[in-house]
Structure 1
Amino acid sequence: MSDDLMSAFIEDSKDHLESIESDIMALENLKGAFDEELVNRIFRTAHSIKGAAGFFGLEAIGRLAHRLENALHLVRDQKVRPDQQTCQVLLEGFDQLSTMINEPVAGECMDITSTLETIQGLLTPTSKIETETSLQLCSNHGHSIFDVDMFTLDQGLKGGKFLYHIEFDLIHDIHRKDKTPYDIIKALQDTGLILDCHVDIGATGTLESGFAQRIPLNVLFASIIDPEVIGALVDVPAESIRRLERSMFQFHSCNEPTASFPVDKDAVSKENSPWRVINDQAILSLDEHFGLTQAQSFCRLLLHPPDDVAHLRIDLSGTQSIDIAGLQALVAALRTCAGQMRSMRIVSTEHLREQFQNLGFAWLLGDAI
């Protein structure tokens, strides 16, 4: 198996899906009888793919896996009978999921509307409403930390499970401990349910205010593990674990202010600028290594790009290595450009793309924002 995180996720997903057809056929052959172990195995396949897909930015794959997970929750609760019709819908859904996993980039472009609607048709009237009702956990500053549907939240709390907000720092809790974000996701899935998972880009700061030396990975986690021992399992400081109650989630949307970032363009001399301007695009080529020292210079340049240029291009074609500080600077730069109403695109080599993926930042190499 490749060390590449995305490849590891794909291979793990294929392993889970390898026996899914025979498992669903075995479920159908029970003629409506209930086999808890068999149903749990099928459910875990959907859940494991959903939990990791969100982190990798595979939104369509995550949506389909989540819809299958919802249906299987009801099968596990014996509210939906695993008859021939149900099993056929599940089989078609997992077949579509397998196709998307085999070619994730193409899979993200597939129209899965019909498949999603067919699976949704398995749900009870009450559960349909619950899956369409969004609940949010807001911070003290009013922005959303987690956005989860009511059905998923209530399923996570079943069976006396505790609900936790766990904040991993990608720099200190993961990267510097020689772990990967995917390692964390898999370990949590072995001991509970990941209800939501995302990197808090806002916490990285901006180039104007100075970016923080932390990149939070927020996980909404449901588990039977007692609060007194959860810290030993996840290996993060006690202050990074918060036990939640359902009452903390709100129906209404949080109000997240839109920031604007003024730039003093006269503060930097334009002489000998490393920026190259071609038409309406400014190009900045980075050094062979992009780490903390280079990131500081990079941030100063990004604060003062050439005048009257709406599109920025960061050229990493000559860069051989990048560390977490460099990645953090790129994240802060993307947020700053969004506030300045500029687009920014990062151009990389395949070699460097693997380093981005290994650190869980392949999404940075997408289209300009």
Structure 2
Amino acid sequence: MSFEVNDLMGGFVEDCLEHLDHIESSLLDIEAAGDDQDPEVVNSVFRAAHSIKGGAGMLGLDNIKALSHMLENVLHMVRSNEMVPTHEVVEVLLKGFDKLTEMIKDVEDSENIPIDVHVAKLVALTANNSSSALAQREPARIEVGPTRIFTVDPVSLDQARAGGNEIYLLEYDLIHDIHGKGKMPMEVLRSLTDTGRIVDCKVDFASVGDLDAFGNSIPFYVLFATILETKYVCGLVKLPQERVRHIEDAGDAVHIAPLSTFREEFGAVVLDVKDGAGRIIVSRDVDAHALSNLRVALLGAMNRCGSLVVDWSGVTQCDLFFYQLLCAAQHTCSAKGIRLAHEGALDADLRKAAASMGFGCQGVSGCLFNAA
């Protein structure tokens, strides 16, 4: 499956316009019904805002996400009978959805379209229908390590916990958990809405790295509310328990330590990290594909580890580029102050090949190949 941003954005726009197709008539039906609402009509409009919010969060479309989020909050109050859909309320919703449609039709310039007036009116509606204690609470900050992942307003947090829901931070890897399994992020988000509510989601693009340190994972965080217990959530989302973090009601800030122990597999290359120490296991024939995977694993380990061991005892065949890559890795580790060593014995024929290619490094202190 190709992972083209244009395809993803095009699919998002198409889905959004489909969701928005009957919004105006549905909102007018909601206004006409007054206190005697058809739950399915209200839910359909709520789901439209909710779905658009999730997709926009994943794509980094902050304006679309912010406006759809505020629309969702008001609609939640309507469907839970906390707010009567008067003409004034529906008028604010209609204008908000009109602006949302405008941004989606011009998605590439959506960040430059002003939404402040609409957001302010929607926030005022929720504030007028919330308790004074809730209105005075500060937004909650969800942080992983030094990075703030989410800032959640108190109304959204309160709504997410409604009905006994628990909140979880799901940490997907966009490369391995989603793209590597032939999925698209929107598919994952849609599947989650069957059993809960997406409070927010975000791709941590800072983890992509740069050309000198190309990351081997891209965290995709989803703040997910559901009635399910942790063990069932793990099975549902197909993530290990250490990447399904239960968010306690801990006040204004929730700080989560980044994972210190994990394993990532890249075909014949495996990266194990435990408490800042990395171990890369290379096995079988190191062809061009395995060499590329090894480079990604090395760069990923250098970004996270203070020491690194390469276990090459399982290598059965390689060429000049394998030795070149490891030699380059040693230079980079040395410059970064990272200790790089090998584990296991390199095959005798491969040792001879390394020496014949000039990688014996006799007399060079600390060379990775000296004791190979």
Decide: shared fold, TM above 0.5.
yes
Query: How far apart, CA to CA, are the structure 1 residues paired with 2:43 and 2:131?
Result: 19
Output one character per residue of 1:150-188: Cα deviation in whole Å (capped at 9) or x when no partner: 211111111011211111111211111111112112211
After superposition, the Cα gap between the structure-2 partners of 1:127 and 1:72, relative to the gap in structure 1 and judged at 3 Å, is farther
The 5-angstrom pairing of residues 254-265 of structure 1 reads: none
Match of 1:272 in 2: none
Shift of 1:66: 0.9
Residue 106 of structure 2: aligned partner: 103
| Structure 1 residue 167 corresponds to structure 2 residue 171 | yes
1:213 Cα deviation from its structure 2 partner: 2.5
Q: Is the 1:47–1:65 contact (alpha carbons within 8 Å) kept by the matching residues of 2?
A: yes
Q: Deviation of residue 112 (structure 1)?
A: 1.8
Where does residue 268 of structure 1 map in the other structure? none
Give the TM-score, by structure 1 length. 0.63
**What does the per-residue CA deviation read over 1:279-329, in whole Å, with 9 as the maximum and x for residues that have no partner?**
xxxxxxxxxxx99849969x99xxxxxxxxxxxxxxxxxxxxxxxxxxxxx
The separation in 2 between residues aligned to 1:161 and 1:253, in whole angstroms, is 20
> Aligned pair 1:143/2:147, yes or no?
yes
* Aligned equivalents of 1:8, 1:131: Cα separation in 2: 39
State whether residues 157 and 163 of structure 1, in contact with CA within 8 Å, keep that contact through their aligned partners in structure 2.
yes
Which residue identity is paired with 1:106? D
Relative contact order (alpha carbons < 8 A, sep ≥ 6): 1 or 2 greater? 1
Report if the CA contact (8 A) 1:203-1:214 is conserved. Answer: yes
- Equivalent AA in structure 1 for residue 17 of structure 2: K
1:211-251 deviation line (CA, Å, top 9, x unaligned): 5522211111001233232222212223221222111x535
Q: Does 1:197 align with 2:201?
A: yes
Which of 219, 222, 235 in structure 1 is aligned with 2:222?
A: 219
- Whole-Å separation in 1 of the counterparts to 2:30 and 2:243: 41
Q: Does 1:181 align with 2:185?
A: yes
Between Structure 1 and Structure 2, how many residues are aligned? Answer: 261
Q: 1:291 to 1:30 in 2, by over 3 A?
A: farther
Deviation (angstroms), 1:45: 0.9
CA separation in 1, counterparts of 2:20 and 2:42? 14
Structure 1 runs (4+) greater than 6 angstroms displaced = none
Q: How does 1:83-122 map to 2 (within 5 A)?
A: 83-122=86-125
Matched, 1:30 2:33: yes
- Separation in structure 1 between the aligned mates of residue 24 and residue 290 of structure 2, nearest angstrom: 47
The structural deviation recorded for 1:76 is 2.0
Paired AA for residue 155 in structure 2: F
One-letter identity of the residue aligned with 1:188: L
Structure 1 or 2, whichever has the larger Rg, is 2
**Are 2:59 and 1:56 aligned?**
yes
Greater shift after overlay, 56-65 or 191-200?
191-200
Q: Deviations over 1:90-147 (max 9, x none)?
A: 11111111121112123332122222222223223446964983211233x4432332
Inter-CA distance 181–192: structure 2 relative to 1 (3 Å threshold): same
* Identity level (%): 38
**CA separation of 1:42 and 1:211: change in aligned 2, threshold 3 A:** same
**Conserved? CA contact 1:131–1:151, under 8 Å:** no
Matched, 1:133 2:138: yes
Contact 2:247 2:254 in 1 (8 A): no
Stretches of structure 1 that go unaligned for 5 or more consecutive residues are: 255-289, 301-369
Q: Is the 8 A contact 1:131 1:152 kept in 2?
A: no
What 5-or-longer segments of structure 2 have no aligned partner?
Answer: 257-288, 300-372
1:202 CA displacement: 4.5
Q: 1:231 is matched with which residue: 228, 231, 234? A: 234
Using the size of structure 2 for normalisation, the TM-score is 0.62
**What amino acid sits opposite 1:29 in the alignment?**
A
Matched, 1:124 2:117: no
Amino acid at match of 1:52: G
The 2-side partners of 1:152 and 1:197 are apart by: 13
Letter in 1 for 2:91: Q
Q: CA RMSD in A?
A: 3.3
Deviations 1:310-350 (A, max 9, x none): xxxxxxxxxxxxxxxxxxxxxxxxxxxxxxxxxxxxxxxxx
For residue 199 of structure 1, what is the amino acid of its counterpart? V
Asked if 1:39 is matched to 2:45, the reply is: no
Shift of 1:191: 2.2
- Return the offset for 1:61: 0.9
Report SS of the residue matched to 1:60: helix
Matched residue type, 1:113: D
The aligned counterpart of 2:252 is 250
Q: Which amino acid aligns with 2:88?
A: Q
Return the structure number with greater strand share: 2
SS of 1:65 mapped into structure 2 = helix
Q: Could you tell me whether the CA contact under 8 Å between 1:131 and 1:149 is conserved in 2?
A: no
Relative to structure 1, the CA distance from residue 98 to residue 176 in structure 2 (aligned partners, 3 Å threshold; closer, same or farther) is: same
In 2, distance between residues paired with 1:253 and 1:133? Answer: 16
Q: Secondary structure at the match of 2:125?
A: coil
Does structure 1 conserve the Cα–Cα contact (< 8 Å) formed by 2:59 and 2:203?
no
